[in-house]
A = this chain, B = another copy of it.
């Protein structure tokens, strides 16, 4: 019998990495999949992506024999710079951009570059669990700040900074998803963006602006990126092609001040991002992306409407569970809140047994202690009919759970 592996011994590992195992299991779908923020699968431009790659390889495929540029394929960075100028009023040069695997690697690199254990990070009162995981791994003291539908409440933000300083702790970073916030769905107003930026500048706090849902706007007018208002170089901006072309491609980017990019280049893992993916995305994006985003948004809008209609149908009469929900003007999420007594983890467990995946709010809670009666519902993946049906099923489960919790 072989001896247990050397790697089964705890002391073979670095003291600075997590003790717990990471997941090595794929997200397994369900008949009603409202769990993960997928874009619409039917509108994926598969034939066009393959054709774009064919053309790209014909034109400059020999470059695959070389290592990619450490910051990623230069023409794709040029495209991103033009897109940011056009869509986000953000003036950056291709040299101010680093491509990464999705938005997750850029977020990871920024957090790794900045955070010492015990330093404070402020986030929205609920936020993206992937980033929470990275922040926890680097030992951040994460604190959620109360929000309304325009973003951080200014007093709450000031209080959080004052309170951390009072404890002798440095607030190093504010992590925000200002546009179609995950999971709350709102868009931070221009006034709040200005206030947030001014506050961060005054206190010398960096801002990580995670704008990965910005292209998914169904209604209303764009609000300029926080980074576009920044005169002091405190903001680093992250974007992604995951939600507009597909998360499987793993292509995102960060744009920020040059000294930060110098440091990030020194810790980037895996070299420059895949030239195969970058060629395909670049050739596709320059000729097709704007039209594709418009048509994908028409589909997403119908899905959002199906979820809103399903929620109204299912919960309209259920005043006993006190249901309310967000009405986002874009993005992929609806945030459902029930009466304070209802345990959404129990709802999610029961839903899973009936073939439905939802995310209980506590998984998006910065301190892991709020949102017991809330859930995030993603409307990007299933067809409208299934979404509407699913909301009826969910309302039934919530009602049974509310009765059980009395």
Contacts and interface: CB of A to CB of B under 8 A. Distances in A.
A71 interface: yes
A406 interface: no
A206 B9 CA distance: 11
Interface residues of A, number: 107
A66 B248 CA distance: 6
A17 interface: yes
A112 B138 CA distance: 13
Contact of A5 (B57, B95, B234): B234
Contact of A18 (B5, B261, B266): B266
Give the oligomeric copy count: 2
Contacts of A137: 266-267
B5 A70 contact: no
6 contacts: A41-B66, A47-B57, A104-B271, A108-B269, A250-B275, A250-B276
Interface in A54-88: 54, 57-58, 61-71, 74
Contacts of A70: 22-26
A64 B102 contact: no
A58 B271 CA distance: 29
A22 B102 contact: no
A249 interface: yes
A231 interface: yes
A203 to B, nearest CB: 10
B250 A273 contact: yes
A53 B283 CA distance: 15
Contacts of A95: 24
A73 to B, nearest CB: 9
B2 A231 contact: yes
Nearest to A9: B204
B25 A271 contact: no
A8 interface: yes
A4 B100 CA distance: 26
Given A206-B7, A269-B109, A277-B274, A263 B69 contact: no
Interface stretch (A32-40, A143-151, A303-311): A32-40
